[in-house]
Structure 1
Amino acid sequence: MKRAVIVNAKRSPIGKKNGILKDYAVHELASPLIRQLSIGFEGIVDDVLLGNVTGPGGNVARLSALEAGLSLSVPGVTLDRQCSAGLEAIRMACYLIQGGAGLCYLAGGVESTSTSLFPAKARFSPDFIGDPDMGKAAEYVAQKYGISKDAQDSYALLSYERSWEAYEHGHFEKEIIPFGHIVHDEEFFKKRNMTALLKRAKPIFTNENGTVTAANSCTINDGAAVVTVIEEELALSLGLLPVLRFIDSQVAGVHPNYPGAAPIPAIKKLLERNNLRIEEIDLMEINEAFASKIVGCSQELSIPYEKLNVSGGALTIGHPYGASGAVLVNRLFYEVQRKNNVKYVLAAIGSGGGIGVAVLFETMVN
Structure 2
Amino acid sequence: MRDAVIVDAVRTPIGKRNGSLAGIHAADLSALVLDALVRRTGVDPATIDDVMWGCVTQIGDQSSNIGRFAVLAAGWPDHVPGVTINRACGSSQQAVDSAAHAVMAGQCDLVVAGGVETMTRVPLGSHRTTGQPYGPKVLTRYEGAELNQGIGAELIAEHWGLSRQQLDAYAAASHAKAAAAIDDGVFDDHVVSVDVDGDKFTVDEGLRRGTSVETLSGLRTPFKQDGVIHAGNSSQISDGAAALLVTTPERARELGLTPIARYHSGAVSGADPVTMLTGPIPATAKVLGRAGLSIDDVGAFEVNEAFAPVPLAWLAETGADPERLNPLGGAIAVGHPLGASGAILMTRLLARMRSRNLRYGLQTMCEGGGTANATVIELLS
Name 2:218's counterpart in structure 1.
200
Shift of 1:28: 1.2
In structure 1, distance between residues paired with 2:127 and 2:229:
19
Counterpart selection for 1:50 from 48, 53, 63: 53
Secondary structure, counterpart of 1:260 in structure 2: coil
Counterpart selection for 2:327 from 282, 287, 310: 310
Whether the 8 Å contact between 1:345 and 1:360 is mirrored in structure 2 is yes
TM norm structure 1: 0.95
Q: Is 1:105 the equivalent of 2:111?
A: yes
Whether the 8 Å contact between 1:131 and 1:257 is mirrored in structure 2 is yes
Whether the 8 Å contact between 2:165 and 2:213 is mirrored in structure 1 is no
Whether the 8 Å contact between 1:7 and 1:244 is mirrored in structure 2 is yes
In structure 1, distance between residues paired with 2:262 and 2:31:
25
Counterpart selection for 2:202 from 156, 159, 183: 183
Name 1:41's counterpart in structure 2.
43
Whether the 8 Å contact between 2:113 and 2:246 is mirrored in structure 1 is yes
Counterpart selection for 1:80 from 83, 86, 106: 86
Q: Structure 2 counterpart of 1:76, which letter? A: G
Aligned residues: 362
Name 1:355's counterpart in structure 2.
371
Secondary structure, counterpart of 1:259 in structure 2: coil
Q: Structure 2 counterpart of 1:9, which letter? A: A
Name 1:275's counterpart in structure 2.
292
Q: Is 1:170 the equivalent of 2:173?
A: no
Secondary structure, counterpart of 2:194 in structure 1: coil
Name 2:318's counterpart in structure 1.
301
In structure 2, distance between residues paired with 1:137 and 1:176:
33
Q: Is 1:250 the equivalent of 2:250?
A: no
Q: Deviations over 1:12-33 (max 9, x none)?
A: 1111222211111111111011
In structure 1, distance between residues paired with 2:30 and 2:373:
22
Whether the 8 Å contact between 2:149 and 2:275 is mirrored in structure 1 is no
Aligned Cα root-mean-square deviation (Å): 1.6
Q: Structure 2 counterpart of 1:77, which letter? A: V
Distance 1:119 1:306, change over 3 A: closer
Q: Taking every aligned residue pair, what percent have the same amino acid on both sides? A: 33
Q: Structure 1 counterpart of 2:148, which letter? A: D
Name 2:253's counterpart in structure 1.
236
Matches within 5 A, 1:136-147: 136-147=151-162
Q: Deviations over 1:336-359 (max 9, x none)?
A: 22113x111111101100001001
Q: Structure 2 counterpart of 1:348, which letter? A: T
Counterpart selection for 2:168 from 139, 146, 153: 153
Q: Deviations over 1:46-102 (max 9, x none)?
A: 111110012421011110111111111111000111101010000000000011011
Whether the 8 Å contact between 1:124 and 1:352 is mirrored in structure 2 is no
In structure 2, distance between residues paired with 1:118 and 1:174:
30
TM norm structure 2: 0.91
Secondary structure, counterpart of 1:201 in structure 2: coil
**Larger CA deviation: 116-125 vs 146-155:** 116-125
Shift of 1:38: 2.1
Shift of 1:233: 1.2
Secondary structure, counterpart of 1:184 in structure 2: coil
In structure 2, distance between residues paired with 1:308 and 1:119:
30
Q: Structure 2 counterpart of 1:200, which letter? A: G
Name 1:115's counterpart in structure 2.
121
Whether the 8 Å contact between 2:119 and 2:337 is mirrored in structure 1 is yes
In structure 2, distance between residues paired with 1:119 and 1:161:
30
Q: Is 1:223 the equivalent of 2:214?
A: no
Whether the 8 Å contact between 2:206 and 2:333 is mirrored in structure 1 is yes
Shift of 1:117: 6.7
Q: Is 1:213 the equivalent of 2:225?
A: no
Q: Structure 1 counterpart of 2:364, which letter? A: A
Shift of 1:364: 0.5
Q: Is 1:28 the equivalent of 2:28?
A: yes
In structure 2, distance between residues paired with 1:193 and 1:154:
9
Distance 1:268 1:179, change over 3 A: same
In structure 1, distance between residues paired with 2:149 and 2:127:
9
